[in-house]
Amino acid sequence: MPLATTRVQPPLDFIPPRFNPGILAISRALLPIWLSWQTDLSDIQVKNLDTLVHLYEQFQKQQTRFLLAFRHPSPDDPVAIAYLLWRAIPQQARDMGIRLERPVHAHFLYDRGIPLWAGRWLGWLGSNLGGVPIQRGKLDLAALKTARQLFCNGDFPMAVAPEGANNGHSEIVSPLEPGIAQLGFWGVEDLRQTNRPESVVIVPVGLQYRYVAPPWKKIADLLSQLEQKSGLSQPLTMNRLQSLRQRFAKTDLPTQQAAELYGRLFHLAEYLLTLMEQYYRQFYSITLPAPDLHQTPQEQLAQRLQKLLDAALSVAEDYFTLRPKGGLIDRCRRIEQAGWERIFRADLGKQPLSPVERGLADRIAEEADLRMWHMRIVESFVAVTGHYVLDRPVAERFGETALLLWALVTRLEGGNPFPRPSLGPLSTTITVGKPISVSDRWPSYQQNRRHAVATLTRDLQAALEALIIPTTPAD
């Protein structure tokens, strides 16, 4: 999340990829240290890895160009993908007796906003590792042209997270952005125009995280911290506990401990939701409907949350004079871009500003940043359903939901939700799916481009969802 902005900035420049083999070698050598120092990832397992080994072999023989479309449930995903490319694939190739040219790597797309909050060094690193930064809320021609050129002519395949941003849910795939499908068809088009024989495929890659041991105590401690910060600092009374048990008596929670923890989690979510509803009603004159009492508590929560997210985006859209168009993610991207255009001013030119002009420009930037705060709240909750934990009451879903609430409370306090609290060591499963041929869909693309892109995006979504491995409740 970007830090608060109170000063106008120069225009966001495009950071061109400048792949540096030496930087890649250093990064690869430091990967184990980064894994143990900066993440909770203690074990990474890869399924169907031979698929990628064969694809890299075909890529290096100029038989195939491919896109890696990986899930994005966590900020740790790029590190897991780095392990897949730099460690797992070369080792599997050696085990299979296949000689791959080194290095095994991929170009990649990343959000241009990341260096704004994570530091300029990350933009430098992304450039030297062959990454392409993209502004997601506009037609970023420089990024798209570069990505298209690299996909057709680069030394490596391309890796993209089609969800656009991490959604905090290992077992929910957010709606995919259509850009990866379009990039795939552009690749087919460019290859055909130059009479090259390579086929084009997209490879769905699932990422899923599980706790090595269910961290029930740490989840409970985190909830206690959030309850206190939110004004729910009084301990639960016996009457309240009994009420919670009765409320969720018909649910399929595995243990009394999980039932009580779910009650606390749900109660905290309801309380924060009520606070936010009051905030938007009182200070922004937003009309929010009363919950439908005929619905279950989970259905009521989901409905209220969606209405609240819509209200939060409408506040920002009204300020930026944007029409609400598309889903929540699309609306977030347009708000972000509108804010950036007021902060990173391309229209101010190179002439120095007078103190008054500078002051006015700073005020515009500061107001834009404040309005984007509403969008940042929504970003974290686009995948929240209201029944995610109850559908499968495992420690992973408890932990993911508690961390989302922690991010909300941190944002409400004016803090930065990164890095997140650690709840315990995680094991990671990377599952390589069946490649989806883009070349075979070329005739349909020629007939109706929009329909072909939409169909490929939908099929990729289904393929990523099929890679989710259901977790089972454990005490």
Q: Would you say residue 419 lies in a domain?
A: no
CA distance readout (Å), 418 to 41, 62, 76, 79, 122? 17, 41, 12, 16, 15
Q: In terms of pLDDT, which residue wins out, 436 or 327?
A: 436
Domain that holds residue 407: 216-412
pLDDT tens digits, 5-46? 789 999 999 999 999 999 999 999 999 999 999 999 999 999
SS (H, E, C) 109-151: EEECCHHHHHCHHHHHHHHHCCEEEECCCCCCHHHHHHHHHHH
What pLDDT sits at residue 26?
Answer: 98
Q: Over 80: is that where the pLDDT of 249 sits?
A: no
**163 and 220 housed in the same domain:** no
**47 and 170 housed in the same domain:** yes
- Cβ neighbours of residue 169 closer than 8 Å, sequence gap 6 or more: 73, 383, 388, 400
**173 and 38 housed in the same domain:** yes
What pLDDT sits at residue 259?
Answer: 79
Last residue within a domain, chosen from 386, 412, 438: 412
Average pLDDT over residues 452-474: 93
Last residue within a domain, chosen from 388, 412, 436: 412
C-beta neighbour count of 33 within 10 angstroms: 9
Q: Would you say residue 345 lies in a domain?
A: yes
What pLDDT sits at residue 387?
Answer: 87
pLDDT tens digits, 265-287? 998 999 999 999 999 999 999 99
When pLDDT is cut at 50, 70 and 90, the band that residue 449 belongs to is very high
C-beta neighbour count of 295 within 10 angstroms: 13
Bridge pairing between strands 107-111 and 199-211: unpaired
Spatial distance between the Cα atoms of 325 and 421, rounded to a whole number of angstroms:
35
**158 and 303 housed in the same domain:** no
Q: Over 80: is that where the pLDDT of 255 sits?
A: no
* CATH number for the domain that contains residue 25: 3.40.1130.10
What pLDDT sits at residue 422?
Answer: 96
Q: Over 50: is that where the pLDDT of 134 sits?
A: yes
- DSSP assignment letter at 436: E
- Cβ neighbours of residue 340 closer than 8 Å, sequence gap 6 or more: 12, 113, 135, 137
Q: Would you say residue 192 lies in a domain?
A: yes
**188 and 330 housed in the same domain:** no
CA distance readout (Å), 245 to 195, 296, 299? 67, 15, 18
**89 and 115 housed in the same domain:** yes
Q: Over 50: is that where the pLDDT of 1 sits?
A: no
**220 and 207 housed in the same domain:** no
What pLDDT sits at residue 88?
Answer: 98
The DSSP code sequence of 309-350 is HHHHHHHHHHHHT----SSHHHHHHHHHHHHHHHHB-STT-S
Spatial distance between the Cα atoms of 398 and 371, rounded to a whole number of angstroms:
31
Q: What is the mean pLDDT of the chain?
A: 92
Q: Would you say residue 91 lies in a domain?
A: yes
Percent of the chain with pLDDT over 70: 94
**73 and 206 housed in the same domain:** yes
Which residues does residue 170 pair with via DSSP β-bridges, in sequence order? none
When pLDDT is cut at 50, 70 and 90, the band that residue 291 belongs to is confident
The DSSP code sequence of 176-199 is PPTHHHHHHHHHHHHHHHTT---E
Average pLDDT over residues 454-471: 96
**70 and 178 housed in the same domain:** yes
**148 and 269 housed in the same domain:** no
Is-contact 268 236, C-beta < 8 A? no
Q: Over 80: is that where the pLDDT of 237 sits?
A: no
Spatial distance between the Cα atoms of 418 and 225, rounded to a whole number of angstroms:
17
**107 and 250 housed in the same domain:** no
Q: Would you say residue 473 lies in a domain?
A: no
C-beta neighbour count of 345 within 10 angstroms: 17
Spatial distance between the Cα atoms of 316 and 328, rounded to a whole number of angstroms:
13
Q: Would you say residue 298 lies in a domain?
A: yes
pLDDT tens digits, 48-79? 999 999 999 999 999 999 999 999 999 999 99
Average pLDDT over residues 98-105: 97
Average pLDDT over residues 218-246: 78
For the CA atoms of 118, 124, 127, 133, what is the dihedral angle to 10 degrees? 40
The number of domains in the chain is: 2
Amino acid in the structure at residue 324: P
pLDDT tens digits, 356-377? 999 999 999 999 999 999 999 9
Q: Over 50: is that where the pLDDT of 2 sits?
A: no
Q: Would you say residue 9 lies in a domain?
A: no
**264 and 388 housed in the same domain:** yes
Q: Would you say residue 5 lies in a domain?
A: no
